[in-house]
């Protein structure tokens, strides 16, 4: 089109954007914490951004509800680790997301509503990656599920913990047979980018609860400048290999679409 109109086209990279209260430090820290990219903010960040780690999902939920009572601009989000069955998609009384050890439950956002971002009743629901991309709230409470954990000094991506109803992982089974290296790379990218997206939806703050206690402790240490993580390709390669030991038969998926996120 540019040649046809005899126009000059300049391409550039968007180096920064006003997100998360303008805290580039938080964004850089998050990229490093999730081991997406090496940044200078490997052990914390400066700036006026409210980040908290909760040990109990009820406490996080109550904190977000308190914020929501002020402006109706706070929401609960979750990694896609719980199935989203067709039954019950019209009532928040069905608690799709369950954390039994805390007797905690919340429904996915309802299928009969297009107003999740503004409906006051949406505080009783949790948004997922596919319903909150492109949206921003003042505060978000993010439930990080079992598809991401921290053990033996590294992040572990476990794509088998994603819900079967998650369309973004369709085809991993087939791809594992045909190209295991590419399957591991895609799985790693999907999970980490999911949480990066969810954890950058809050303009003023992000609260998190991790189902994996090791991951929760990891975030506490790295946030409080108590753990200096050095991004190394060898470490990333180890996390990429985590799906390799999982029997292909355990993953019941047939088709892939890595561009859903």
pLDDT, greater one: 208 or 94: 208
pLDDT digits (tens, 9 = 90+) for 167-220: 887 887 788 788 888 988 888 899 999 999 999 999 999 999 999 999 999 999
Mean pLDDT of 78-107: 91
pTM for the model: 0.79
Three-state secondary structure string covering 18-80: CCCCCCHHHHHHHHHHCCCCCCCCCCCCCCCCEEEEECCHHHHHHHHHHHHHHHCCEEEEECC
In sequence order, what are the beta bridge partners of 227?
none
pLDDT, greater one: 89 or 127: 127
pLDDT digits (tens, 9 = 90+) for 12-63: 654 444 445 445 778 888 998 998 887 655 555 667 889 999 999 999 999 9
Closest CA to 184 of 158, 210, 205: 158
3-state DSSP call for residue 32?
A: helix
> What integer pLDDT is reported at residue 249 of this predicted model?
30
């Amino acid at each position: 089109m540019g040649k046809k109109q005899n126009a000059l086209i300049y391409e550039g990279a968007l180096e920064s954007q006003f997100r998360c209260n303008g805290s580039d430090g938080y964004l850089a820290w998050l990229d490093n914490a999730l081991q997406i990219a090496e940044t200078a903010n490997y052990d914390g960040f400066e700036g006026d951004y409210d980040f908290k780690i909760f040990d109990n999902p009820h406490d996080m939920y109550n904190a977000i509800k308190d914020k929501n009572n002020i402006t109706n601009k706070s929401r609960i989000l979750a990694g896609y680790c719980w199935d989203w069955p067709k039954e019950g998609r019209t009532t928040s009384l069905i608690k799709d997301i369950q954390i039994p050890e805390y007797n905690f439950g919340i429904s996915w956002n309802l299928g009969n509503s297009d107003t999740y971002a503004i409906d006051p009743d949406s505080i009783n629901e949790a948004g997922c990656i596919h319903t909150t991309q492109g949206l921003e709230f003042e505060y978000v409470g993010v439930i990080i599920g079992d598809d991401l954990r921290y053990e033996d000094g590294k992040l572990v991506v476990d794509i088998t913990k994603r819900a079967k109803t998650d369309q973004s992982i369709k085809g991993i089974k087939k791809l594992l047979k045909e190209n295991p290296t590419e399957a591991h790379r895609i799985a790693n990218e999907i999970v980490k980018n999911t949480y990066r997206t969810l954890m950058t939806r809050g303009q003023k703050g992000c609260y998190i609860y991790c189902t994996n206690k090791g991951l929760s402790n990891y975030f506490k240490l790295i946030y409080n400048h108590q753990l200096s993580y050095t991004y190394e390709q060898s470490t990333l390669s180890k996390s990429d290999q985590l799906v390799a030991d999982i029997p292909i038969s355990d993953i019941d998926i047939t088709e892939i679409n890595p561009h859903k996120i």
